[in-house]
Chains A and B, each alone.
Chain A
Amino acid sequence: NTKITQSPRYLILGRANKSLECEQHLGHNAMYWYKQSAEKPPELMFLYNLKQLIRNETVPSRFIPECPDSSKLLLHISAVDPEDSAVYFCASSPTGVINTGQLYFGEGSKLTVL
């Protein structure tokens, strides 16, 4: 799905700070960050609608989302922990009356914490 791009695709970190970026070209109003650990389903971390944070699941405070505009989403990670090793997916969906509820996922950013 090249209409939702994420960067970087792969990153290997010690206890450093890093930001993940996502951009969608689908004109969707809602954007999400999901975390998928090995052998588990994706878990919702954050949900933005029209640039407003409306869902903030119980995630460590070292994860800070940012939505600079309706097509872009950032995830700032500080002092990563080995339990943070996972694939982080950005997703988006339309809102409004014409909405099947389907989420579209980006390619993912695979984080490996040493």
Chain B
Amino acid sequence: GDSVTQTEGLVTVTEGLPVKLNCTYQTTYLTIAFFWYVQYLNEAPQVLLKSSTDNKRTEHQGFHATLHKSSSSFHLQKSSAQLSDSALYYCALRNNYAQGLTFGLGTRVSVFP
């Protein structure tokens, strides 16, 4: 089956500094799409970024990620973290329409002033 491995646990960063969350995956299928979901406290997960194109950078709300199928990675980065970026981040993939999303375990980001 599929699996997604993320930077574990808690990542703390000072406001204004860069942040990077790692995501690698294993799959035997021709994967449809890759996602970063963000979940704020007491809210539902929502899509932050999505990609299905190899080696193409995708950006949204100051975050960016590039899918690299050669290294099975989809790392999330932001050059300048904001206090409002404090949240739980999930890397996820989806292989076909008969399946839901396969999530990583999640990475909690805390941004401090």
Contact = CB atoms under 8 A, between A and B. Distances in A.
Interface of A: 1, 30, 32, 34, 40-42, 44, 47, 49, 54-55, 89, 91, 95, 99-108
Interface of B: 32-33, 35, 43-47, 50, 52, 90, 94, 97-101, 103-106
Nearest to B34: A101
A101 B44 contact: no
Main secondary structure of the interface of B (DSSP, over half): loop
A95 B100 CA distance: 12
Given A41-B105, A41-B106, A89-B44, A102 B50 contact: yes
Contact of A102 (B33, B43, B103): B33
Given A30-B97, A55-B100, A102-B35, A107 B50 contact: no
A107 B33 contact: no
Given A34-B100, A41-B106, A55-B98, A100 B50 contact: yes
Contact of B101 (A49, A100, A103, A107): A103
